[in-house]
Amino acid sequence: MGKVAELYQSADWKSEKHVPVIECPDSVKAGETFQLKVSVGKEIAHPNTTEHHIRWIQVFFKPEGEKFAVQVGNFEFTAHGESVEGANSGAVYTNHSVTAEMSTKKSGVLYATSYCNIHGFWESSKEIKVS
């Protein structure tokens, strides 16, 4: 029997349009709120059509020395040009980018995962140091 982890793909986001890109400070002060942005297709644009799109991004944080990660957020993108008139003829498209704020008292690792309706699950991570 397989594991979900085996389904996740990763790569350098500068050369692969499906990898979630985490943008935030490398170092933060303990307990202070900071902004975090996660997007897909930063260097190479990912399509955003009815047929090919990013469905969601999830963000987790695993504090140093702790066993489990904490979910920071789950963000769904549900409008991709669908319409009663047909695919890609709708008026609304949600962009696969999210900005959130968080704080932490411990250093750790941010994990971002995303799902492309054609190419599956993708992941990336970024270490955060607390001073």
Considering the candidates 14, 29, 37, 52, report the single residue annotated as catalytic: 52
Q: Is-catalytic flag, 85? A: no
Q: Which helix (H) or strand (E) holds 68?
A: none
Q: Is-catalytic flag, 18? A: yes
Rounded average pLDDT per 10-residue block, the chain, 131 residues: 84 84 98 98 92 97 98 97 95 96 98 96 97 91
Q: Is-catalytic flag, 96? A: no
Give the pLDDT of residue 98.
97
Give the pLDDT of residue 89.
95
Q: How many Å from the N-terminal Cα to the C-terminal Cα in the chain?
A: 42
Closest Cα partner for 41 from 70, 5, 77?
A: 77
**Calpha distance 126→38 (Å, rounded):** 11
- For residue 46, give the DSSP letter: P
Q: Is-catalytic flag, 17? A: yes
Considering the candidates 53, 80, 116, 123, report the single residue annotated as catalytic: 116
Query: Is pTM, for the whole model, over 0.75?
Result: yes
Query: Which pair of structure tokens corresponds to residue 71?
Result: 């979910």
**Calpha distance 125→13 (Å, rounded):** 11
Q: Is-catalytic flag, 16? A: yes
